[in-house]
Structures are given as C-alpha cells and as structure tokens.
Amino acid sequence: MASSSPVRHAWRVLLGLLLVTGVLFGINALGVYVFKDSNGEAASSWSPELALDLQGGTQIVLSAETEDGAAPSSEQLDQAAAIIRQRVDASGVAEADITTEGGQNIVVQIPGEADAQTRERIQSSAQLEFRPVLYTTAATNEFVGEDGNSTPYPSPDPGLNSTPTAEPTDASDLSWVTDKLAAEFQAYDCANPDNDAAKAPKDEPLIACSADGSAKYLLGPAELDGTAITDAAAGRDPKSGAWLVQLTMNADGADAFGKVSTRLNQNRIDGLTPRDQFAFVLDGNVISAPRMNGQILDGRPSISGSFTQESATTLADQLKFGALPLSFTVQSSDTISATLGTQQLQIGLIAGLIGLALVAIYSLIVYRALGSVIIASIAVMAILTYIIICILAWRIGFRLSLAGVAGLIVSIGFTADSFIVYFERIRDELRDGKSITAAVEDGWGRAKRTIYISKSINILAALVLYILADATVKGFAFTLGLTTLIDVFIFVIFTHPVMQLLARTRFFGGGHKLSGLDPEALGAVYRSRSQYREVTTASAGRGAKNARSRGEADRRQTIAERKRAEALAGDKPTNAGSEGDA
C-alpha cells in the first residue's frame, strides 16, 4: 500500500497537468470563436502575434511645428514622443517603436495595420485641462446586491433628465450633475478602451479616471488649459524637505487660477470635500487631483503629496509639456516589409531546431532511455509556452519579436539543465546503494532545492533586464522569464511524476542496461551504506571506473559506516578459516 501511494500521487499530478492544458486551450478557444474585437474579428488566434520586426506593419512619420512656425526644441519633441507612446500603449498596441528623427520628426512604427482610431490618437495634439472635482470614488462600476453578489450598474436610461434643473453658478456647482450624468458615472468602466474622455467638450462636465485606473472622477467644466503654465519643476519643500511640484503661470492663467483657488479654498473651509480639489486632466486621464489648501493669487501654486524625486519629475514634465503648442502633420504613412525579419526568423528557428536536436542526441547518448523523459518534458513545455503566448497576445497585446524568439531558443538549454541536475542526483543515490524507487524520491528532494535557486536567479536576471534594458531587448527578457516559470512548473508537475511511474516499471526499475539507471554501469560499489560489492581492480575500463567510484564511496561514509564496514571485513577471513578447518 505504501509503495502505491507515490503512484497514485503521480497520476493525480499528471491528470492536473492535463486539466491545466485543457483549460488554457479552452481559454484561447473562447477568444477565437466567442469573443470579438472592436473590428468584429476574432479576439484571439491559434498562432502567436508577431512584432514589427517579424510581421511588418505601419510606419507613420509626423512633422511637428510650434504655433509660431518655429522648430520645436529637443525637449519638447522628446515629451511629445513620450505622450504618443502613452497613447499607443493605451490603445492596446504592443511592441510599437516610437522615436524622434532629425530634430523635428516623430517616427511611429506599429505592428500590423493601424486602424483609423489609432491613427487619430497618434496625430492629435495633447490636451491638458484644469477641471474642478465634483465627486470621486473607486474605479468600479459594480454594487453589492441584496444577495451579496457584485452586480454591474445598468446602462443609463436614455429617458433620464440630461439638463441641469438649475443654472450652475460656477464649475464646482453640483447642478451640473443631472440624473443621466449620475447614472453614467455609476456605470462608467475605466477598463473599457472605448470610453475616451479626451474627446469631451471643455464646457461640459467630464467623467475621467486616474492614470493608474484606481479612481474615478466626476469633473466640472474646464476652467484652464495647459497653455496657462509657463514652467513646472520638481523641487523640495524648504521646510519639510519633501518633494513637490512648483508651477509658474502666465498673467491670464494666474488671474483665472486665483479665482478658482479662492472658490475651492472656501469649499475646503466649508467642509465640501471633494469639491475642494481640482484635477489635471491629460488626454482624458487624471494625472493629479490635489486639494486646495489656500488662496493662491501670484500664479505660483505648488503640488505636494507622497512624491519621490522620480514621480515629482514625471508630473512636472507632464504639466510643463502636457499641452504642447505643437501641431502634427503626417509626412508619410507607409507599410513596412518584414522580409528581413522573416529571413532572420527562419534562421532562428533552424538554429533552435539544431539546438533541440543536439540536446536530444546528447540526452539519449548520456542517459539512454532516460533521455526520452527530457525530450518529452521539452515537448510539453513547448506546447504550454505556445498556447500561453497566444493567450497573452489576446489579453495584453504581447507580440513575439525576434528578441523574444532568441529567448525561447536559449530556454531550451536552461530547461535541459534542470533535468540533468535531477538525473545526476538520482544516479548519485544509486551509487550509494539505494533502490531505484528510493533514488528517485531522494534525488528529487536534493535536486529541487538546487533547481529552485538556479531558476530564481534566472527570473531575477530576466526582471532586471526587462526593467532596465532598451525596448528592443524586453522581448528577450519577457520570454526568458516566462519559459523559466514554465520550466519549474513542468519539472514539478510532469518530470518528477513521470520518473515516479517509470521507476516502478520492469525496464527502468530493474536497472536495464539501456535504461540509463543500471547501477553496475553507474559504478555503484556497495549494496548498502556499509556493505561493498566485490569489484575487480583494473587500470582501465569499467574496473578503473568502479575503483574510482569506490574511492568516492569511502569519502562519503560516516564514521559509524566505516566501523561497520571494517567489522564486516574482519569477519570475512575468520569465517573462511573455520570452513577450511572443517
């Protein structure tokens, strides 16, 4: 009964692997046959999405000009490129390449064909607005019903009142909140990309979300725009030393902001939270919504909070260049060929197949039939990696680049390394005189610690590379980290259970010469920790190998084991002499 327990456990684990694989294929099947994208096409595919260097795509060259016709500064152009990158990322396009060129142009390269909505998002000028906060809540569009379950708010009834019942006196007046607007706010989904707050009129209320998607705001009409800001800089409060953002406004902006600050400060005094806040809205996202702590008439407000140097600098740049006085003219819009990338992909795949073949040959030569476990594990890993990449292409817009393909190829060697560590541990246990079933269990216990540490280093290296490296290298880091996680998963849920089952078969459990687990071929020199197997001394061949193994066994023995072996060795001549006298 005890020996069957590992067998039942192994079958349960393998069944779990089969279920996980089926669930992954089922998820992707939903994206292929059930869910549709904004164009009415299948949301997912049975083949991975390719990046620009492999698939080809669209290249849009934008020429930037200031209002007075002068060329923009390099600082303005870099910030414009950063804003465009945020817009492209927000549209769900992955692996896009956005660079500046010639001191006046911005080059946008997008995998595949860019739709009209993406083109409009790229070409439009940035819009920075100052709007008072009327109401704010967490970014949710659900409520808990009487049954205790979360239920989405219904879509607003078209018949609801959409006209203020009383004429609003200012932008902070709650009369702006009509029945229809309140229902729209409740049902507003911050995660829905179709909700584009950037297109809302300036003289009407606005529903917007924070840039990180954690809060939802109901805002009054815009009272200022980004042109009011002449400068924004990150600095430290001279009293507390905390990081803050210092703004400088022009004359018109200072006058308008003075009136706004007076009203919002009075709301703070009256306890009318959150109507004492004003929001900076960039491209429809609330990048900051500070509370007014006083009347500011000199046009030099400062924003304080839980800032770091990096976050304060980022906010200062967004406010300074958020409403760039730049207009973009499309110089060219071309289709990029992926001929070169396709050739490189073919070469990379051939290299991967050659590497895979070499690993297979090496495994079969060194580990004989045991090498088939390595090949099967790599095959299972390839299946899981493929379907996960397909799902990631649907859910997060991941696209496989040439660097990503390189990461997949490198992972073959890392995966084989895990199995080699495991199998060598099993062989060490066999050399110590353990049975094959015991060697598999003890070898697993010793090998998994080494493998976990090794893989954690690989994951850490992939994370550092992904965070610090250039965008062209991120694909390599992503696939390397992904395959490392899958490698550990396969090692635990496939390789070890298969070895538990094979160890109980006649071929492997009996130590067949072709199994790769033959104790004699491995040079096992004792049947137990204190009883040696007779070996023949030789200077070459298997005898020499056994002699070396015996020396290794000597070094491994504990003091008690050595004494036991010496006692057995002393008893042997005595017994032989007694038999001779008789």
pLDDT per residue, tens digit, the chain (582 aa), is: 444 588 999 999 999 999 999 999 999 999 999 988 766 788 889 998 887 777 777 888 888 777 667 778 887 788 778 777 776 776 666 667 788 877 778 888 887 777 776 776 676 666 788 999 999 999 888 888 777 788 888 888 888 988 888 899 999 999 999 999 999 999 999 888 778 777 778 899 999 999 888 899 999 999 998 888 888 889 998 888 899 999 999 999 999 999 999 999 999 999 999 999 999 988 788 988 999 999 999 999 999 888 888 888 888 877 876 655 566 778 877 776 765 567 777 887 888 889 889 989 988 998 899 899 999 999 999 999 999 999 998 888 788 888 888 899 888 888 888 888 999 999 888 888 888 889 999 999 989 999 999 999 999 999 999 888 776 788 899 999 999 999 999 999 999 999 999 999 999 988 888 988 887 777 665 444 444 444 444 444 545 555 555 555 555 555 555 666 666 666 555 444 444 443
Residue that is written with structure tokens 């005890």 in the block: 2
Contact 315, 302 (CB under 8 A): no
**Residue recorded with tokens 């560590």:** 421
Which helix (H) or strand (E) segment holds residue 25: the answer is helix 4-33
- C-alpha 152/C-alpha 135 separation (Å) is 19
Q: Which pLDDT belongs to residue 127?
A: 72
CA–CA distance, 15 with 90 (Å, rounded to integer): 39
Could you list the beta-strand ranges (E) of 139-284: 142-144, 150-152, 206-210, 215-219, 224-225, 229-236, 243-249, 278-282
One-character DSSP codes across 273-308: TTTTBEEEEETTEEEE-PBP-S---SS--EEESS--
* The predicted structure's pLDDT at residue 158: 85
Q: In the chain, count of helices (H) and strands (E)?
A: 17, 17
Where do the DSSP E strands lie in 86-223? 97-101, 105-111, 128-138, 142-144, 150-152, 206-210, 215-219
Question: Which ranges of 128-250 would DSSP assign to H, the alpha helix?
Answer: 179-187
Burial of residue 472 (CB within 10 Å: 0-12, 13-18, 19+) is middle
> Taking a C-beta distance cutoff of 8 angstroms, is the pair 405, 57 a contact?
no
Q: Crossing angle, helix 339-367 and helix 402-431, to 10 degrees?
A: 0
Q: How far apart are CA 354 and CA 360, in angstroms?
A: 10
Which pLDDT value is given to residue 427? 87
Pairing verdict, β 206-210 and 285-288: parallel
pLDDT of residue 575: 46
Residues in the chain: 582
- Tokens 């829905």 locate to 192
Which amino acid, residue 47?
Answer: S
> CB–CB of 538/547 below 8 Å?
yes
Triad 108, 111, 114: Cα angle to 5°:
70
Report the CATH number of the 128-137+196-323 domain: 3.30.1360.200
Annotation: CATH topology of 57-125+328-336:
Alpha-Beta Plaits (3.30.70)
Q: Which amino acid is at 557?
A: Q
* Residue-level pLDDT at 270: 93
Please state which CATH number belongs to domain 4-44+338-509: 1.20.1640.10
DSSP 174: G
Report the half-sphere exposure of 513 (CA within 13 A, side-chain side). Answer: 0
Among candidate residues 423, 419, 427, 430, the one with its CA nearest the CA of residue 454: 419
Domains of the chain by residue range: 4-44+338-509, 57-125+328-336, 128-137+196-323, 525-572
